[in-house]
Structure 1
Amino acid sequence: MTRSVLSVEEVRKAVFEAAELPLSRAITLPPETYVDPGFFAHEADAVLSRGWICLAHVSQLKKSGDYLRLDLLGEPVVVIRGRDGEIRVLSRVCPHRGADILHPVFGGPEEGNEPILVCPYHRWSFEADGALKGCPEMQKAEGFDKKDWRLSSFRSEIWQGFVFVNVSGDAAPLAELYAAFADMIAPWDTAEMEVVIELKWDCDFNWKVMVENWIESYHHLGIHHQTLNTSMPAAMTWTDPEQGHFIRCHLPFNKKTTEKVMEAAAKDAALDGFKPVAGLPLDRQLEWGLYLGLPCFMLLTARDRVIWYRLLPQSEGRCALLTTTLVTRAAMADPDFAETVAAETTMLRDFHLEDMQVNAAMQAGLRSSKVVRGRLSHLEEPIWHIQRYLARSLRVAEPASPSV
C-alpha cells in the first residue's frame, strides 16, 4: 500500500505532535519535511529567514573590498568589507533595472576583491557600503539623486568573529540568543582564529538531513566505525539539557586516546594536528564539543582547532556546504604548518565523504513511497531538540487568528 502524501498543514501538525513527545518515545518527522517543496517554502519563510544564518568568518574578509558571493533562500547576496572596515551583507540586485550585478554568467569569481561593485548591464557602480558611486547618462532624469539609489542591505551581525545574516530583519540579537553559547566557546577566542582549510560540497539533500546527521553521534558506530568511532565511541557521547536556541553535545575520547591527550597536555604539545589552543581547560581537551546554533550554525571545538560548517539551504533537496578549519595564529607560525594543513585537509575530506554518502542515501530513502517514521535512540537526543525548535519556530510564525 502506497503511503499518502501529507499537506503542509498536516506536516505542521505532525511536527507539533512529535515535539510534544518525551525523548523516550521520540519519533522521526514525516518525510515531507525533507522532500516536499511546499513545506520547504513554508519552512524557509517561517524558520530559516527569521533565524540567523552564518555566512562567513572575518578572516575570510581581511581587506577592504574583499567579498564573498552567495545565494541564500532565493536572495543573491554579497558579503563585503567596506573602506571603513565594516563587513556588510548587501543585495546584489541593481536598483536601476534589477540585474544581479555579480551573477555567475558574467564570469566573476565567487570570492575576491572589488572595492567598487559594477553592474555589467549599464555600468552603474557602487561602493562597498552600497552607496551609488557612478551612473552614466542619468543627468536628464528629473529629480534623480544618487543618494536615493543604494544597493539594499540585509540585517547582519558579527558574533565571535562569524558574520551572520537575518533575512527577515526581526530576529532577536545574537548576543541574547547565544549568550550561554558564547561563554562555552570563549576559551577558543574564535574571533582571533583564522580559516586555513576550506572544502566545498554540492549537496543533493535537505538541510535538516545535514544538521541532524552532524549533531548526533549515534552514527559513529555505523558510517564512521573505522574513523571517528575508534577514538570517540558513540555510546560515550551525551547531550546537554535543552538550551532553546542552540544545542551542545559532548564527544569524549576513549581511554587510550584520553591517556595520549593528557600526556600531550602536560607538555603543551601537539599530537597529530596543529599546535594546541593555549589555555584550554583539560576537560575541554579530552573531548570534541559539538554545537548547533539553531537553525544551522554548526561548530566543532577541539584542543587544536575549531571546525565550522557554512550551510546554505537552497531547496527541499539541495543545500550548499562549506566545511572549514580554523586555527590560532600561533599554530600558523609553526614550521610544519604547511604539512599539517595538507594532512588535516585529507582527514577532514575523508570523514566528511562518509557523511556525504550517508546523507545522499538518506534523502533517496525519504523520497520512497515505502518510507516509515522511525523511533529515535537516546543517542539521537539532539534530533529531538531540533524537532522542538522547529515546532516553536513554526508556531511563532503562525498568522494571527482573525478576530471574531
Structure 2
Amino acid sequence: MTELHAAPLDPAGVEPALRPFGSSRTLPAAAYTDPAVLAWERRHLFAGAWTCLGRLDELAGGGNQRAVTVGDVGVLLTFAPEPRAFANVCRHRGHELLPSGATADRPAAVCPYHGWAFRLDGSLATAPHMAGVDSFEPSELGLVELPAAVWQGWLLVNAGAPAPAVTEYVGALDALLRPYHMSGLQLGSRHVYSVAANWKTIVENYQECYHCPLIHPELCKVSPPTSGDNWVLPGAWVGGTMDLRDHADTMSFDGTGPGVYIDGAPRRTILYVALFPNLLISAHPDYVMTHRLTPLAPGKTEIECSWYFPEGIEDTAYAVDFWDLTNRQDWAACESVQRGLSSPHYVPGPLADNEDAVYQWISLVAAAYLDPTGALRAAVVDDGSPGTVGDGSPQTVSDGSPRVVPAP
C-alpha cells in the first residue's frame, strides 16, 4: 500500500486554511500551481480515496476487462459479472496487463510480456515455464485486489492507502440522493470540457453562488442566488441546496421542462454536492447532472459532464443547453482565477460569510495535505457538531448562519 507522507507544502502556509470559519484563509498558490503538489494529490487524494470512475453500465459495456488509471495508479477492472478491481500489474515482472483505456473480452487477463494469465477473479491461471521453479506457488501469485464499490450506479475504487469503508465515506449523502433513483436514470447527453484551471478551483467555484449575480444572469432568473442551505453531515462530501423561483419548475432558460419528474424527488429545490475527490452531483426535480473531474496538469482539468433523465425523455436540450452555457461561464471564471493564482502577487484571502461550503472543502483538503488518512476518517465521523444528526438523516442549517464542523 501507499506510504503516507504530508504534501510538499509548507505547513505554515496550509495552517491558515484550518482556522475557524471567519478567520481562515484560502490555500497557498502552490496548492494550485505546483506539479509536485498535483503528483502528491494523485497518489494520496485520488488513489488514496474513493474515486469515481464513471457509471458501471458504461464501464462494463466494452467487455469483461477494462484498464483505467486512478490518480497515478493503474487499475484493471473485471466484470464477471460483479465488478472487481486489481492492480494492473503482472505478478511476474510487473508488465501492465492492458494499457490504460483499453478493454478486452476473454476468459482471462493475459500479460502480453510473457503470457502469464489471470482469471477474472484475479487468481493465476497459467504461467509458462514456471513448473520447474521450486519456489513457484500459483496460489500466492494472484493479482493484488483493490477495494471497489457500486454506489448509486457509479463505480468507486480505492486504489491506494486504505480509505474508510464506502458506506461511511458517502455517509449521509446516500440518504439525500436516494429519492432521485439515480441508478435507474438514463444518460441523455454528455459534454467533455478541457478547462485551464486546477481541479480544486473548479470545485470551489461549484460550492458557492456568491459569483452568480455577476456571471450567471440566466441561472439567477430561475433560482435566487441567496437561497438554500448547506449541510454539515457525516461523509467525505460537502454541499447543500438552492431553491427554484415561484414561476420555475426546473433549471432551464424559462424554468420549464417536459414535465416528467423523478418520482419522489424534491420539487422545489436543487441539490448541489461534491463527493471527494472528483464527483459533483447536481440533482433537479426532473434530471441529474454530474461533473466527473480528472486533473491533467496543475492548471488543466478534464470535466466529463453528464445529464441523466427518467426513461423516455427524448428532448433534453432544455437542460443541456442551459447548463452548457452556465458551465462555460464557470469555466471562464475558473480559468481567470487560475491565472490569478499563478501571479507572483497572489496572497491567500478571506472567505465571505456565504462561502461556508467553500470553507468546508478547503479545510478538508488542507487537513488532507497534513494527514490524508486522518482527514478522511475525521470527515466521516458524526461528532455531534451543530448541523449534524446522529442517524445520518438529512438536516440543513435553516437560520442562515454558517455552521461548520471544526477543522481537524
Which range, TM-score by smaller chain? 0.7 to 0.9
Q: State the match for 2:357 in structure 1.
A: 382
Q: Which residue of 1 aligns with 2:284?
A: 302
Residue 265 of structure 1 aligns with which residue? none
CA distance in 2: counterparts of 1:195 and 1:183, whole angstroms: 22
**Counterpart position of 2:214:** 222
* Inter-partner Cα distance in structure 2 for 1:128 and 1:86: 10
Q: Secondary structure at the match of 1:222?
A: helix
Answer with 361-370 or 343-352: which moved more: 343-352
Counterpart position of 2:88: 92
Q: Which amino acid aligns with 1:246?
A: W
Matched, 1:292 2:287: no
Mind listing any 5+ residue stretches in structure 2 that lack a counterpart? Answer: 1-6, 375-408
TM-score by length of 2: 0.77
TM-score of the pair, normalised by structure 1: 0.78
Paired amino acid for 2:162: D
Q: Is the 8 A contact 1:365 1:371 kept in 2?
A: yes
User: Counterparts of 1:150 and 1:322 in 2: how far apart (Å)?
Assistant: 34
Q: Note the alpha carbon deviations across 1:97-126, whole angstroms, 9 max, x for none.
A: 32223226xxxx656755543333334333
Deviations 1:196-242 (A, max 9, x none): 433333444322112111222223223322x3222123233432346
Extract unaligned runs of 5+ from structure 1. 1-6, 262-269, 400-404
The aligned counterpart of 2:18 is 19
Residue equivalent to 1:368: 343
**Among 246, 249, 253, which residue is 1:255 paired with?**
246
Q: CA-to-partner distance for each residue in 1:128-157, whole Å, 9 max, x for gaps?
A: 333333444544544434443333222222
1:103 paired residue number: 99
Matched, 1:191 2:183: yes
Choose the corresponding residue for 1:177, options 161, 169, 172. Answer: 169
**Residue type matched to 1:87 in 2?**
P
Residue 46 of structure 2 contacts residue 70 of structure 2 at CA under 8 Å; is this kept in 1? no
Query: Take 2:63 and 2:239, find their aligned partners in 1: how far apart are those partners?
Result: 36
SS in 1 for 2:333: helix
RMSD of the TM alignment (CA)? Answer: 3.2
User: CA, structure 1 residues 220+118, in 2 after alignment: closer, same or farther (shift >3 Å)?
Assistant: farther
Which residue does 2:33 correspond to in 1?
A: 35
- Report what 1:70 is aligned to: 68
The answer for the alignment partner of 1:326 in structure 2 is 308
Match of 2:333 in 1: 358
CA contact (8 A) 2:47 2:73 kept: no
Alpha-carbon displacement from aligned partner over 1:246-272 (angstroms, at most 9, x marks no partner): 2222121123215x89xxxxxxxx942
Task: Between 367-376 and 311-320, report the one with greater CA deviation.
Answer: 311-320
SS in 2 for 1:88: strand
Q: For the Cα contact (< 8 Å) 1:65–1:128, is it kept in 2?
A: no
Question: Over residues 318-353 of structure 1, what are the superposed CA-to-partner deviations in whole Å (9 max), with x where a residue is unaligned?
Answer: 4433222233xxx32x2xx34x24664444433323
On the 8 A contact 1:195/1:324 being kept in 2, the answer is: yes
Say whether residues 1:236 and 2:227 are aligned partners. Answer: yes
Would you say the 8 A contact 1:74–1:314 is kept in 2?
no
Match of 1:264 in 2: none
Instruction: Return the letter of the residue paired with 2:84.
Output: R
Are 2:43 and 2:73, in contact at CA under 8 Å, matched by a contact in 1?
no
Specify the SS of the correspondent of 1:377. coil
How far is the alpha carbon of 1:188 from its aligned partner?
Answer: 1.4
Query: Structure 1 CA distance, aligned partners of 2:33 and 2:289?
Result: 28
Equivalent-residue separation in structure 2 for 1:326 and 1:368 (angstroms): 39
- The 3 A distance-change label for structure 1 pair 78 and 348 is farther
Shift of 1:301: 0.9
Assess if the C-alpha contact under 8 Å between 2:75 and 2:159 holds in 1. no
SS at the partner of 1:359?
A: helix
In 2, distance between residues paired with 1:304 and 1:115?
A: 41
Aligned length: 365
| 2:13 alignment partner AA | A
Q: Secondary structure at the match of 2:354?
A: helix
Shift in CA distance, 139/297, structure 1 to aligned 2, threshold 3 Å: same
Amino acid at match of 2:274: L
Using the TM superposition, give the Cα deviation of residue 29 of structure 1 relative to its aligned residue in structure 2, in angstroms.
Answer: 1.7
What residue is the counterpart of 2:260 in the other structure? 275
Contact 1:220–1:233 under 8 Å retained in 2: no
